[in-house]
Amino acid sequence: MRFSKLMSVLVVAGLMLSTVAAGTLKGNVNYQGKTPKKKTLKMNADPVCGSSHKGKVFNESFIVDEKNNLANVMVWLKDVKYTGTVTETPAVIDQKGCLYTPHVQGIMKGQELLIKNSDATLHNIHSMAKTNKQFNFAMPKVVKEKKVSFAETEDPFYIKCDVHPWMKAWVGVFDHPYFAVTDANGNFSIEGIPAGTYDVIAWQEKFKMKKHLTASVTIGEGETVNNFTFIRESKKK
Ligand SMILES: [Cu+2]
């Protein structure tokens, strides 16, 4: 009898644990201000890079659509007490067409970052991290994969290629999995967030950490929407 009682207590406890509310934070990131002119990347110094694109390739540091939705904005929760595991699937960054894909991404502390070289040319991948140990190594066309990981949390820092000066990507390192990057329509979605109130940060590379946006958001079951607007003040007063 005692044993079955214990079992039923365990079952009830298990059910309670599995019903702890978790919600989704989603939203849109928009831009207000003068849109910077698109800059064309000149890749012809390396014929492999130049010939890998048919049309023009533009600088990726500021991408807005016709409705001023901002792509490549990293959104994350701040100061989360996360006791779960590190994501086992590696994050991936590919050197393809002499660009980094993705241009902006979040990764968990301790998670693997798989670095690919899909190009038939030499790249050099050089992390400009300030808190984490920097890395800097060549990836000749025969070296297709390397793996790195980051031991510390860190606000977004960039990775560059010393061979192709236009190549730049951004990585943020978190001690939880609650981060996302806006898509081409400026939308983001962070799932599985335990119920609670959080500070949320939105970061865009031109605005940098100095001009990041914050919001306080309460997550319950289901979806919570929080939009952000980056505003660029006109220089004229
Ligand atoms: Cu390169």
Q: What CATH number does residue 190 fall under?
A: 2.60.40.420
Residue 185, pLDDT score: 98
In a domain, 56, yes or no: yes
For residues 91 and 84, what is the distance between their CA atoms, to the nearest angstrom? 18
Q: How far is the CA of 95 from the centre of ligand 1 (A)?
A: 7
Q: pLDDT band at residue 154, thresholds of 50, 70 and 90?
A: very high
Its pTM surpasses 0.85: yes
The rounded percent of the chain whose pLDDT value lies above 70 is: 91
Residue 69 CB neighbour total at 10 angstroms: 19
Q: How far is the CA of 22 from the centre of ligand 1 (A)?
A: 41
Domain range for 100 is 21-231
Q: pLDDT band at residue 234, thresholds of 50, 70 and 90?
A: confident
Split into its structural domains, the chain has a count of: 1
| Average pLDDT, integer, range 172-177 | 98
Q: Report how far apart the first and last C-alpha atoms of the chain are (Å, whole number).
A: 80
Residue 103, pLDDT score: 98
Q: pLDDT band at residue 235, thresholds of 50, 70 and 90?
A: confident
Q: How far is the CA of 34 from the centre of ligand 1 (A)?
A: 31
Q: How far is the CA of 108 from the centre of ligand 1 (A)?
A: 25
Q: How far is the CA of 9 from the centre of ligand 1 (A)?
A: 59
In a domain, 186, yes or no: yes
For residues 114 and 123, what is the distance between their CA atoms, to the nearest angstrom? 15
Q: Report whether pLDDT(227) > 70.
A: yes
In a domain, 14, yes or no: no
Q: How far is CA 68 from the centre of its chain?
A: 20
Q: How far is the CA of 97 from the centre of ligand 1 (A)?
A: 9
In a domain, 45, yes or no: yes
In a domain, 12, yes or no: no
Q: How far is CA 89 from the centre of its chain?
A: 15
| Average pLDDT, integer, range 41-49 | 95
Residue 21, pLDDT score: 78
Q: How far is the CA of 139 from the centre of ligand 1 (A)?
A: 9
**CA dihedral (203, 69, 230, 76) positive or negative:** negative
Q: How far is the CA of 126 from the centre of ligand 1 (A)?
A: 10
Residue 150, pLDDT score: 98
pLDDT digits (tens, 9 = 90+) for 75-130: 999 999 999 999 999 999 999 999 999 999 999 999 999 999 999 999 999 999 99
In a domain, 117, yes or no: yes
| Average pLDDT, integer, range 169-196 | 98
In a domain, 15, yes or no: no
In a domain, 9, yes or no: no
Q: How far is the CA of 124 from the centre of ligand 1 (A)?
A: 6
